[in-house]
Structure 1
Amino acid sequence: MNYLTVENISKAYGELELFSNLSFSIHKDDKIAFVAKNGSGKTSILNILSGKDTPDAGQIVMRNGLRIAFLSQSPDFDKNLTIESAIFNSDLPILKIIGDYEKALQNPEDEDAYQKAFEQMEVHNAWEFELQFKQILFQLKLDQLDQKISTMSGGQIKRLALAQVLISNPDLLVLDEPTNHLDLEMIEWLEQYFAKAKFTLFMVTHDRYFLERVCNEIIELDHGKLYTYKGNYSYYLENKEARITQEQVETGKAKQLFKKELEWMRRQPKARTTKSKSRIDDFSDIKKRAHKRRNDHKIELEINMERLGSKIVEFHKVSKAFKDKSILNAFEYVFKKGERIGIIGKNGTGKSTFLNMLTQNIQPDSGKVIIGDTVKFGYYTQGGIKIKPQQKVIEVIKEFGEYIPLTKGRQISAKQLLERFLFDGKKQHDYVEKLSGGEQKRLYLCTVLIQNPNFLILDEPTNDLDIVTLNILEDFLLDFPGCLLVVSHDRYFMDKIVDHLFVFKGQGEVQDFPGNYSDYRTYEASVLPVSKTKDDVVNNSEEKNKTNKAEKLSYNEQKEYKNLESKIRALEFDKKALEEQFNDTTLTQDEITKLSDKLQQVINDIETKEMRWFELSEKFES
C-alpha cells in the first residue's frame, strides 16, 4: 500500500541549492533510513514530508487521511505544560478517554467521574493502549508526570517528544536522529520496539547498529542523485561499493569513447550529413559522461600533538555527590599513555560531572585529581560551538591564528585547514548560524583538534555527524597517539575505538571493564543470576500453557482473556500511582479518606478481574 510519493521536489536557500528533482515513495511497513552528507538537506526533506516546510518545486502526494508524526531535532513545547498534559495534548480519541481516566484517579473525591471514566475505558477497550503508553514513558524515564517542561533538560524534552510521537500511533513516523539524548539501554529498547511494532518509518540517523537492526531500506542522496538499497546497513555498504566500482568502470569506458569521438570530430569536414549531425549531438553526452567524477574529498585530520610526559592524570580517593546523589565514591585511577577509554552509563549517573572534574571545571568533595605538567586537554563538549552573531566560518578559525602548526614543523593557513574539513571557499564565508547541525559539529571538532591536544575528551561526538565524517573521525582516533576518553551512545563508534570501559552504575559505583561495548553486553548476558534464568524458564513454560489453554477457549473468551491481562497490568499502574499520592504530607484527613476509598475501589477492580482471569485459565484444565 503506497502511503506517500515525493515527485521531483527541489529546495534552495538563496543561491544555495540543497537538492533538485528528487523522487521516491514510502509504502506501508517500510522502515527507511535516509542517508546523506551534512549540509545536503536531510532535515529539510524531513520538514517537507511532515508538512513543516514546502518544496520550491515538485509536490508530495499522500494517501487520504494519512496520519504523520514528526520527531524534530529541536522539539518545541509550551513550557507551562507538564509531561502528562503534553502527552494528552493530542487529537487521538483514545488518548482523551485515557486522559479523563488519569484525571479521575488524581481526584479521589469525585467518585462519579471515576466511575464514568472507568466505564469509558471498558467500552473502548483502552486498557492495552494505556499500558503501552505507560511502558513507553517508563522506558524513556518520564514517569514524573507532573513535572513541568520548563524544569526539564534538553535531553528530557527530546525524549518527551519521542514518547509523544510513539504514543500518537501514526500511520507514518518521520524521525530526525531519534537516538540522540537516549542512553544505551533506551536505544536498545527502541530498536526492539521498532523491530516488533508495525510502524512505517522514515528517518535520519547516524547510529549504524540502529540502521542495521531496524531498517529494511536505505535511500542515499549522493552527489544530487538518489540511490535506493532494499536492505539493512550491511547490504547498503556492500552494494554502494559495487555501485561506485561500476560507475568508475563506465566512466573509464566513456573516456575511451570520448577520445575516439574527439578525433572523429576534428577530422570532420564543414559539410555535415544527417548521420554525422546525429553523431555530433551524441558527442556532448559522451563528453559529459567521460568528465564525470566523484567529489569524494576526505577530511584530513592532521595535528601536531604536544609531547605527553610520564605523569598524565591521577585520581586519588575522589568522591563527589550532589545532595544525596553520589557520583564518585573514593574513585582511584591512574591514566597511562595511549589509553582509549569509553564511558557508558544511564543518564544522570554522573558521566559529564566526571569529565568536568577531570578537566578541573568542578572540584571533588574529597580526594585529589592530579594533572601532569605536559597534559593538554582537548575537550569536545555536548554544548558544541558557541555561535557569535554574524561570525563567519573563516573567522572562527582565524581566532586561533592565520597559520596553524602541523607535524614536522610544517604549517597551514586557516583557509587550507577549513578545506581539509570539507569547507570550500564559498562555505568558509557563510555565517556559522546558517550551517547545518552536522556542519557546526564538524567546525567545532576542527577548533578542538587544531589546539594540538594530547589528551582528547569527546562527550557525545557522534551526534549530528554524517556517516562519512564518522568513519573518517574513527580512522583518525585509531591513529591518535595520546590519551582518549569518550562518552558516546553510538555503540558502533565505541566498539571501533575504545579498549576498555568505565561503566557508571549509579550511586558512586564505577566498574573498569576490559573490553568494548559489545564485549560488555556479552559479559552482562553471561553473568545473569541463576534465579533469573530459572524465572525465564518458568515464564516460557507459562507462555506455552497460556497458548494451549487459549486454543481451548471460544473466540470471545480468548479475546476477553487477552484483554483481562492488559486491564490488570494497567490497573496495577494506577494502584501504584494512587499509593504514591499518600507521600504528600500536606494531605488533610478528609483527603486521605477519599484517597483510600479510591485506592480500595481500584484494588476491588483488580481482584474482580483477577478472579475472572483465573476462571478462564482454569476452565478447561484436567
Structure 2
Amino acid sequence: MARPPLLTLQDIALTFGGTPLLEDASLQVGAGERIALVGRNGSGKSTLLKIAAGIVAPDSGRRFMQPGATVRYLAQEPDLSAYASIEAFVQTGLGPGDDPHAGRIILEGLGLDPDAPTTKLSGGETRRAALAHALAPDPDVLLLDEPTNHLDIAAIAWLENLLEERRKALVLISHDRRFLETLSTAVVWLDRGHTQRMERGFAEFEDWRDGIIAAEEEERRRLDKKIEQEQEWLRYGVTARRKRNMGRLRNLQALRQERRDQRKQTGLADMQIGAAERSGKRLIIAEGLEKAFGGKPIVKDLSLTVMRGDRIGFVGPNGVGKTTLINILLGRLQPDAGTVRFGVDLKPILLDQRREGLDPTMSLRKAISPSGSDQITVGQTTKHVAGYLKDFLFTPEQFNTPVGALSGGERARVLLGRAFAMESNILVLDEPTNDLDLETLDLLAEVIADYDGTVLLVSHDRDFLDRTVTTTLVAEGGGKWSEYPGGYSDMLDQRGAAPTEPVGNEKREKAPKKDAAPRPAQQKKVKLSFREKHDLETLPAKIEALEKEIAEMSERLADPNLYAKDPKRFDALTTAITEKQTEREAAEERWLELEMKREELAG
C-alpha cells in the first residue's frame, strides 16, 4: 500500500518581473526517495527548492508537509558571525531527538576542525559548515542545492557514501553528473516553468529528455504546417468569397497565439575558441621544481614536460597547491628551486574560478567586448556582439545588465565568452564547471576536445575530467605529484584505488601512502575514526531498541481479527515492521563490520 508523500508542491507559480519563472511546477517527495532536480541555469531550480523548504512563498499553488516530518535545507550563503566555533553553528541545526555527536562526525568527514573559530573561514569552509549544519540532524527530507561546490574529490566521495547509507528522502541539485548518477532514483526536470518527472535515475535522464524535445519539435513542425495552410487559404480563398469565414479566421489567430505561447526549448551555448598560431612542439619543460609556503611543501622535485595538444588534469584536495603549480608552470610564480623553460610564442589564457576578472559595474556587452566594438572575431569567424552573446544563452534584454546582477552560472558563461574570444594556444581552466548547467558542461567538454592547443585543467568533477584530459597529475601529499596517462577513472585503475576512495588527500586515512599504490585491502588504518567509535558504542543499544519495537508490532499483528477490524492499521503495521527489520539488519551489518575492524586493529 503506497504511503502519502512527505512533501508536496502542487501547481506552483512565481513571477519575478517579466516572464514567469514558475508556471505549473509540482514536486512530490516520498520517504526514502532520492530525486535529482535538473534544468538549465536560471530555470528556477533553486527557487523551487526554497519554496519546498518554506523559505520563499509562491504567488500561487500549494505546499504541504506531513505532520511531524522534518526538513533541512542547505543554505547557499550562511551567516556564521554569531557563533564562536563551527561546531556551535552546526549544533543549532539539531533537534531534541538528534544525536549530539553527529555534528562532529559530519565535520570530520568534510575535513573541518569543529573547534575552529568562524571569523577566519574561507568561502569554501563556510560552505562546508553549512553542509554539516544540514546533514547533522538526519532529517526526513534533505534539500541540497549544489552540495559539491567547494568540495574536493575525496570529500565528494565521502558525501556520496554518507547519502547512500541514509534511508531518508533527498532532493538534489548538482552539476556533478557522476554524483547525480550515483545517488538519484528519480529525476524532476524543470523546463520553461513546468516540471516533468521520470521514475528512473539520472543515468537515463538525457535519453528521456531528448525524446520529449523531439516530440515537441515534431508538434511544432505540425503546427507551423497548419499555420502555413491557413495563411494560404486566407491569401487566396477569402478574395473569392463575398463573406469571410470568420470561424476559420479565428482558428488561424488561435494557432498563431498558440505558436507564440510555446516557449521554445532553450538552446545550447554555441562555443568556439579563438586559436592562436601554433606554438612549438614542447611548450613547457620543468625540471626539479621545488616550492614551499611556511614550511609546507607544495611541489617537491617535480619534472614535467608539457607538449602541444596535451590536456592535463590537476587533481588533489583543496589547498594542496594545484593553482600554485600551474602559476609556476606558466612563469607567473617563481619556484624555490628548479627551472622552467618555455617554447616559442606562448599565448596562455586563464579562466579564473573566483570571477576576479569581472567588474560587477560593467555591462554584459562591455564585459564581452571591452573595446566597445560591435564585432568579435573568434578563430576564422567574425560575429556581431549581440549574436555572440546569444551563443552563450543571453537574451537581448540582458545586454546592458551589470555583471554584478547576473547569477553565478551567468557570470561563468561571461568568463567563458571572454576567454574563448581571445587568441590562445594554452587554455588554463581553474574549476570551470562551477555554476554551469549540465548541457553547457557537455558543450564545454566538446569544445575543449576540439581545441587546437594545450589545456591545463583544475577540476573536482570526475566525469568532466574523464571526458576532457589525456593526462592526470595527482597531488600525493608532502609536495609529491604523480603523473598518470588517461582520465580520472584511468588513474584510479592504475593506482588500484576504488572509485569511491579519496584521492590525493594526505589527511584522510584512506589515501594511499606517498610512495606506494596499495590495493584497498592492503591499506590498514591506525585507529578508528570518531564516527566509527561512536557507531560501535551506540549501535548495540539501537539494535536492542529496534528488536523491541519489532516484537511489539509483531504482537499486535498476531491479532487474527486486526485486518477485519482495521485494515488501514494492519497495512501501516505491516509497512512499519518491514522498515524496522531492514533498519535492524543494516545496523547489525554495520556493527559487525566495525567490530571486525576493531579486532583487526587491536591484533
Fold match (TM-score > 0.5): yes
Equivalent-residue separation in structure 1 for 2:371 and 2:8 (angstroms): 48
| 3-state DSSP of counterpart to 1:429 | coil
Letter in 2 for 1:56: D
Percent of counterpart pairs with the same letter? 30
Equivalent-residue separation in structure 2 for 1:395 and 1:377 (angstroms): 22
The answer to whether the 8 Å contact 2:70/2:139 transfers is yes
Please tell me whether residue 406 in structure 1 is matched to residue 409 in structure 2: no
Match of 2:564 in 1: none
Deviations 1:377-420 (A, max 9, x none): 11112211445353211121232451333333x53343332222
Letter in 2 for 1:139: G
The answer to whether the 8 Å contact 2:496/2:518 transfers is no
**Residue 174 of structure 1, aligned match among 143, 146, 149:** 143
Match of 1:140 in 2: 110
Equivalent-residue separation in structure 2 for 1:457 and 1:2 (angstroms): 46
Deviation at residue 462 of structure 1 after TM alignment? 0.4
Equivalent-residue separation in structure 1 for 2:228 and 2:376 (angstroms): 44
In the alignment of these two chains, the number of paired residues is 521
Q: How does 1:144-163 map to 2 (within 5 A)?
A: 144-163=113-132
Deviation at residue 434 of structure 1 after TM alignment? 1.4
| 3-state DSSP of counterpart to 1:367 | strand
Structure 1 unaligned residues grouped into runs of 5+: 99-129, 537-549, 573-605, 611-622
Letter in 1 for 2:108: F
Match of 1:216 in 2: 185
Letter in 2 for 1:395: K
Letter in 1 for 2:521: K
Moved more, 201-210 or 526-535: 526-535
Q: How does 1:181-330 map to 2 (within 5 A)?
A: 181-262=150-231, 267=237, 277=247, 283-287=252-256, 293-330=264-301
Alpha carbon RMSD of aligned pairs, Å? 3.6
Equivalent-residue separation in structure 2 for 1:155 and 1:373 (angstroms): 38
Please tell me whether residue 419 in structure 1 is matched to residue 390 in structure 2: yes
Match of 1:76 in 2: 79
Deviation at residue 280 of structure 1 after TM alignment? 6.2
Q: How does 1:197-596 map to 2 (within 5 A)?
A: 197-262=166-231, 267=237, 277=247, 283-287=252-256, 293-402=264-373, 403-408=375-380, 410-525=381-496, 529=518, 532=521
Over 3 Å counting, the alpha-carbon distance change for 1:386 and 1:53 in structure 2 is farther
Equivalent-residue separation in structure 2 for 1:569 and 1:241 (angstroms): 45
Deviation at residue 250 of structure 1 after TM alignment? 2.7
Structure 2 unaligned residues grouped into runs of 5+: 498-515, 526-541, 551-583
Match of 1:87 in 2: 90
The answer to whether the 8 Å contact 1:79/1:148 transfers is no
The answer to whether the 8 Å contact 2:268/2:440 transfers is no
Match of 1:42 in 2: 45
Over 3 Å counting, the alpha-carbon distance change for 1:154 and 1:569 in structure 2 is farther
Moved more, 16-25 or 220-229: 16-25
| 3-state DSSP of counterpart to 2:414 | helix
Moved more, 469-478 or 249-258: 249-258
Match of 1:11 in 2: 14
Deviation at residue 22 of structure 1 after TM alignment? 2.1
Deviation at residue 490 of structure 1 after TM alignment? 0.8
Over 3 Å counting, the alpha-carbon distance change for 1:400 and 1:140 in structure 2 is farther
The answer to whether the 8 Å contact 1:306/1:376 transfers is no
The answer to whether the 8 Å contact 1:311/1:372 transfers is yes
Over 3 Å counting, the alpha-carbon distance change for 1:157 and 1:289 in structure 2 is same
Over 3 Å counting, the alpha-carbon distance change for 1:245 and 1:413 in structure 2 is closer
Deviation at residue 257 of structure 1 after TM alignment? 4.1
Letter in 1 for 2:288: K
Q: Which runs of 4+ in 1 moved over 6 A?
A: 270-273, 556-559, 565-570
Equivalent-residue separation in structure 1 for 2:66 and 2:547 (angstroms): 34
Equivalent-residue separation in structure 1 for 2:435 and 2:225 (angstroms): 42
Deviations 1:494-519 (A, max 9, x none): 10010110011110111000111111
The answer to whether the 8 Å contact 2:5/2:28 transfers is yes
Deviation at residue 259 of structure 1 after TM alignment? 4.4
Letter in 2 for 1:452: E
Over 3 Å counting, the alpha-carbon distance change for 1:134 and 1:19 in structure 2 is same
Equivalent-residue separation in structure 2 for 1:431 and 1:324 (angstroms): 43
**Residue 54 of structure 2, aligned match among 42, 51, 54:** 51
Rg larger for: 1
Moved more, 493-502 or 441-450: 441-450
| 3-state DSSP of counterpart to 1:2 | coil
Please tell me whether residue 2 in structure 1 is matched to residue 5 in structure 2: yes
Match of 1:101 in 2: none
| 3-state DSSP of counterpart to 2:299 | strand
The answer to whether the 8 Å contact 2:8/2:65 transfers is yes
Over 3 Å counting, the alpha-carbon distance change for 1:242 and 1:463 in structure 2 is same
TM-score, scaled relative to structure 2: 0.78
Match of 2:528 in 1: none
Equivalent-residue separation in structure 2 for 1:424 and 1:68 (angstroms): 36
| 3-state DSSP of counterpart to 1:463 | coil
The answer to whether the 8 Å contact 1:5/1:62 transfers is yes
Equivalent-residue separation in structure 1 for 2:413 and 2:423 (angstroms): 16
Deviations 1:350-396 (A, max 9, x none): 21221222333432111122333411111112211445353211121
Match of 1:595 in 2: none
Deviations 1:280-318 (A, max 9, x none): 665555445567554425323242434323442221211
Deviation at residue 162 of structure 1 after TM alignment? 1.0
Deviation at residue 271 of structure 1 after TM alignment? 6.2
The answer to whether the 8 Å contact 2:275/2:425 transfers is no
| 3-state DSSP of counterpart to 1:93 | coil
TM-score, scaled relative to structure 1: 0.75
Deviation at residue 92 of structure 1 after TM alignment? 1.1
Over 3 Å counting, the alpha-carbon distance change for 1:79 and 1:445 in structure 2 is farther
Deviation at residue 557 of structure 1 after TM alignment? 14
| 3-state DSSP of counterpart to 2:67 | coil
Deviation at residue 482 of structure 1 after TM alignment? 0.7
Over 3 Å counting, the alpha-carbon distance change for 1:446 and 1:254 in structure 2 is closer
Moved more, 335-344 or 32-41: 32-41
Equivalent-residue separation in structure 2 for 1:504 and 1:177 (angstroms): 25
Letter in 1 for 2:284: V
Over 3 Å counting, the alpha-carbon distance change for 1:333 and 1:86 in structure 2 is same
More helix by share: 1
Over 3 Å counting, the alpha-carbon distance change for 1:198 and 1:261 in structure 2 is same
Equivalent-residue separation in structure 1 for 2:40 and 2:75 (angstroms): 18
Letter in 1 for 2:470: D
Please tell me whether residue 33 in structure 1 is matched to residue 36 in structure 2: yes
